[in-house]
Homo-oligomer: A and B are copies of this chain.
Amino acid sequence: MRLISYSHQRQHGVGVMVNMDGFVALPLVAPELPRTMRGLLEMEGGLEKAIAAAKDKPVDLCIGEVHLDPVVTDPQAIWCLALNYKLHIEETGLTTSPKYPQIFLRMPCTQVGHGEPIVCPDPSVAVKYEYEGELAVIIGKGGRHIPVEKALDHVAGYSCYNEGSVREYQGHNRQFGLGKNFEQSGSFGPWLMTADEFGDPSKKRVITRVNGIERQNATTDLMVFDVPHLINYLSQGYYLRPGDVIVTGSPGSLPPHKGETPPANSGGVYVAGMVQMKPGDICEVEIPDLGILSNPVAADAPATYQTKLYTPSL
């Protein structure tokens, strides 16, 4: 099954997809259930109740009629992986421990859902705004010290993630900090595909396209630390909570296509096949069988003092 988080007429809800476009709105068919994905996952048997409530019901709404929110709007943690694919380690020339995963964090408020604009910084702030197409894991059952062999029992489902990064700020100092948490720089969607339907997370492919042109294409068996080992590692120190997200790292880049001139090397980490996102672009992250997360790229507001939150429209 596939479940979405959506907003419609200023109400948030979770929907159960019936086909590629239409969904059953849980606030209509099961108003007693929690209104958020995290709420459903925190409830004992919540996901199963949601799916049962939607069974054989007609379509209430279509994706095109609503705003899609990030799959989990309010996770208590978004654990992200740096340098978790060999090719990405090689192409960046960066070093990383072979023994332990490299972990940093994103804030929920820096991400948007499928179809919503992601935001390219004003050129006076930064120009190296880059995609990272990744497999996202959504925790269902909480746990601590989770053995590798039990780890997948704690997964509710999977989704696509565009871990959009502002390279100048990421490289300002040793910790990535702000460069991985620019305003509306990432996206998470389109839906949660339940673990039973998705199958083995080590046998998938992740593809990233900008304006239809493929820029990343790799299989998840190339992860340095696979999903069960990541769950085991994080749970050594932290009680993994329902709704928590693990964003499993970016694969390497494809080389520039025939006839393309790679961008000039302006210093910092340079990858010839990496293309910067610009306002007007469309960036897609596809995991075949799961779906496509697609976002238009919008320009940020000018870099002037603002006391109201800027929300881009296209």
Contacts and interface: CB of A to CB of B under 8 A. Distances in A.
Interface in A168-222: 169, 172-179, 181-183
A256 interface: no
B142 A175 contact: no
Given A173-B97, A305-B150, A121 B178 contact: no
A76 B76 CA distance: 10
A7 interface: no
Interface string A104-146: 1111111000000000010001100000000000000111111
Contacts of A82: 173-175
Given A76-B107, A97-B173, A237 B305 contact: no
A144 B179 CA distance: 15
Contact of A102 (B144, B177, B233, B239): B177
B305 A144 contact: yes
What secondary structure prevails in chain A residues at the interface with B?
A: loop
A178 B103 contact: yes
Most buried by B among A121, A174, A303: A174
A241 B308 CA distance: 10
A102 B172 CA distance: 8
Given A76-B109, A303-B145, A178 B238 contact: yes
Interface of A: 76-77, 79, 82, 95-97, 99-110, 121, 125-126, 141-147, 150, 166, 169, 172-179, 181-183, 233-234, 236-239, 241, 301, 303-310
